[in-house]
Amino acid sequence: MNGAELLGHSTLAVVEKWDEDKVDWVRLKSGILNPKRADFMRYACTPDETVEDDRPNLTTTLGLGILTNTLINVTTANFSAANLCAIGVGDSSTTAAVGDTDLNATTNKYYEVADSTPTRVTTTVTNDTLQVVATFASANGNFAWQEWGLIVATTGTLVSATTKSGAGTASLFNHKVASLGTKASGASWAFTVKLTWS
């Protein structure tokens, strides 16, 4: 019987949550109006709650196209710069489908540009992990987080926080339905996505 080589991947979503008092404290210490995850870490300000979800998610048709194009060096879309990558959240619990091109939420959805250029992390078992971090400031994404996805733009910058558009075309790389909590005004939440291939 012929053997098969299979490429597997896993996804870890981590949401770290700081309440309004801690946000105000970091603002005071740093002088930064909308602190990012790195700012909370710099001042050793621990989250009030951390939610993790490692259940499998769905790579969309658009996401598979990005991976294939990367392999053949057609770099029409990639995770190469912070202004071309975002994490989107929405309040819809409708089942994700491989053909999805956007989050399912109609009104309550928000796209937060990554805090910095996504990074490649080598783990202890030599797998390669892509890590994307986006911090949703106190005024952003204040609704129930029931779905999420990585957004990758082909050109330009993601300039709209409520529609998947910008100076260039944007693609929904993956899509996951998961209940991550309800964000309220005043709180800051940092969303970290780790995609690992093996």
Q: What b/e string do you get for 52-61 counting C-beta neighbours within 10 Å, with b at 16 or more?
A: eeeeebbbbe
Helix (H, G, I), strand (E, B) or coil at 121: strand
Q: What is the pTM of this model?
A: 0.89
Helix (H, G, I), strand (E, B) or coil at 127: coil
Block residue for tokens 């879309």: 77
For strands 85-90 and 128-136, give the pairing.
Answer: unpaired
* Residue 95 DSSP class: P
Q: pLDDT tens track of the chain, all 198 residues?
A: 455 555 567 889 999 999 999 999 999 999 999 999 999 999 999 999 999 999 888 999 988 888 887 778 776 666 766 667 889 999 999 999 999 988 999 989 998 988 988 888 776 655 688 899 999 999 999 999 999 999 887 766 665 666 665 555 678 899 999 999 999 999 999 999 998 877
